[in-house]
Amino acid sequence: MSIIVQKFGGTSVADAEKIGRAARRAIRTKLKGHQVVMVLSAMGKTTDQLVALANELNSSPPQREMDMLLTTGEQVSISLMAMALAAAGHEAISFTGGQVGLVTDAVHAKARIQSIDAQRIHSQLDAGKIVIVAGFQGITDEGAITTLGRGGSDTTAVALAAVLKAAECEIYTDVDGVYTTDPRIEPRARKMDYISYDEMLELASLGAGVMHSRSIEFGKKYNVPIHVRSSLTDTKGTLIVAETPGMEQIVVRGVTLKRDLARVELVGVPNEPGLAARIFARIAEHNIVVDDIIQNVYGHGREANIGFTTTLSDVKEACVICQQLCKEIGIQDVETDENVAKISIVGIGMKTHTGVASRMFKALGEAMINIQNISTSEIVIGCLIDKKDGEQAVKLLHEAFELDKSPENNGD
Ligand code: ASP
Ligand code: MG
């Protein structure tokens, strides 16, 4: 009997009616002969409200307590779901992350999954129950409650699908799939039928809000087919799958804009071996995720400016750390800029096509959009630009790469 994992995001369980709808979906799947595991987010904007409440009492709440607080949101939705299923005459049981043995490291607010005890779930499924698991949360070896980072229920779902060897992990959300770009910015954005893990991973980490990027890493590593689809309709959404040769024919698959970025610049760093290592080791010790690193050497190689981008939520802490480093290493100054955004184009076809970067720069240049930094990987070209130019850049690049047109021969 195949297992299907169904994850419902906050908007898909926002009220009693929506919980009922999700319950009926799980029941239909079960009646088709599958074993069903549901992974739920907190109802609607619950997590945001809890964060706001915490901030009313403490502007930098202890992270352990923050995790304790935020995980309550998911407990509300899983227990209500079990009640809805029971009311419909179906046996169901809800579990917290800790109860299903979802063990994480001890990094509060952005914990990483270390292991999951699948046996507990298997035995309940074998007993004929629908199993409902709280998304986004885990437990440390010492028994402390952790969370996987905002949006982390996706990761819970895909990780569970991996350990349970599920046939598919369905991600139910308020959009009907993955789009070539954010349709709120570019109404001509197109829903894709397929996308590869690598492309989706880049889109997710570059700001396409659809999925938690770590969930895609899991999907790729354990080859879990992920189906992103709407909780309101029965139409097919977007399948995230392993790469096929035909996929490379499309040069650019999507355009993303990452807005919650800030740049930190260390000005006048002595240009000596080992300093970059020291700076970034310190930043890593504080679990600050660095996006791009930009270094310029000047003064006949004696000095350098080292800049990096990080998320807006981490920039204050990053700045404090860098100011300490200033004193220790003799760096002149630390500057921050919160008005930056990163516009990126993504496509595995870039591996085999040329002229992609110049086409991107031309489109931006013609619109007088200044590029502050360029970063590239095998399947991504990203430009750091002024935040105010972000939306226009999305539209320009969507047009320049004709993403509104349905590509041929690509399995779409
Ligand atoms: N409820 C959590 C959040 O809002 C986790 C999730 O929805 O995936 O971030
Ligand atoms: Mg989400």
> Which CATH number goes with the domain that contains 361?
3.30.2130.10
Q: 80 to each of 93, 95, 96, 174, 386, how far by Cα in Å?
A: 11, 12, 13, 20, 45
CA 288 from chain centre, in angstroms, equals 16
Domain-ending residue, one of 117, 139, 174: 174
Describe the crossing of helices 153-164 and 213-222 by its angle, rounded to 10 degrees: 10
177 band by pLDDT with thresholds 50, 70 and 90: very high
* Substitution site in 6, 8, 41 for ligand 1 pocket (most atoms within 8 Å of beta carbon): 41
Which residue shows structure tokens 């791009």? 292
The pLDDT assigned to 35 comes to 98
Span 221-244, pLDDT tens digits: 999 999 999 999 999 999 999 988
Q: Could you tell me if 162 and 289 lie in one domain?
A: no
Return d(Cα 91, Cα 83) in angstroms, integer. 9
Q: Could you tell me if 133 and 279 lie in one domain?
A: no
411 band by pLDDT with thresholds 50, 70 and 90: very low
The number of the ligand nearest the C-alpha atom of 156 reads 1
CA 68 from chain centre, in angstroms, equals 22
Residue 267 phi, psi dihedral angles, 5° rounding: -100, 135
* Substitution site in 67, 153, 172 for ligand 1 pocket (most atoms within 8 Å of beta carbon): 153
> Which CATH number goes with the domain that contains 26?
3.40.1160.10
Q: Inform me whether the pLDDT recorded for 410 exceeds 70.
A: no
Which residue shows structure tokens 């270094």? 295
Return d(Cα 359, Cα 398) in angstroms, integer. 12
Q: Could you tell me if 128 and 253 lie in one domain?
A: no
Return d(Cα 360, Cα 356) in angstroms, integer. 6
Q: Could you tell me if 145 and 253 lie in one domain?
A: no
Q: Inform me whether the pLDDT recorded for 120 exceeds 80.
A: yes
**What is the arrangement of strands in the sheet containing 290-298, beginning at the earlier edge strand?**
290-298, 303-311, 254-270, 333-346, 380-386, 373-376
In a domain, 225, yes or no: no
| Residues within 6 Å of ligand 1 by CB | 9-10, 41-42, 47, 73, 135-136, 150-153
The pLDDT assigned to 244 comes to 81
In a domain, 204, yes or no: no
CA 181 from chain centre, in angstroms, equals 15
Q: State how many domains the chain has.
A: 2
Q: Could you tell me if 13 and 111 lie in one domain?
A: yes
Tell me the CA–centroid distance for residue 345 and ligand 2, in Å.
Answer: 22
Q: Could you tell me if 301 and 409 lie in one domain?
A: yes
* CB contact burial 363-388 (16+ within 10 A = b; e otherwise): bbeeeebebebebeeebbbbbbbebe
Amino acid at 160: L
In a domain, 222, yes or no: no
Q: Ligand 1, atom 6: nearest CA belongs to which residue? A: 151
In a domain, 189, yes or no: no
- Ligand 1 atom at minimum distance from 151 CA: 8
The pLDDT assigned to 207 comes to 67
At residue 365's C-alpha, the angle toward residues 362 and 371, to 5°, is 110
pTM of the shown model? 0.85
Q: Could you tell me if 18 and 165 lie in one domain?
A: yes
* Substitution site in 66, 71, 76, 136 for ligand 1 pocket (most atoms within 8 Å of beta carbon): 136
In a domain, 119, yes or no: yes
Q: Inform me whether the pLDDT recorded for 208 exceeds 90.
A: no
Q: Ligand 1, atom 8: nearest CA belongs to which residue? A: 151
The residue range of the domain holding 355 is: 245-412
In a domain, 215, yes or no: no
The pLDDT assigned to 412 comes to 45
Q: Inform me whether the pLDDT recorded for 245 exceeds 70.
A: yes
- Ligand 1 atom at minimum distance from 42 CA: 1
In a domain, 361, yes or no: yes
In a domain, 329, yes or no: yes
Instruction: State the chain's mean pLDDT as an integer.
Output: 94
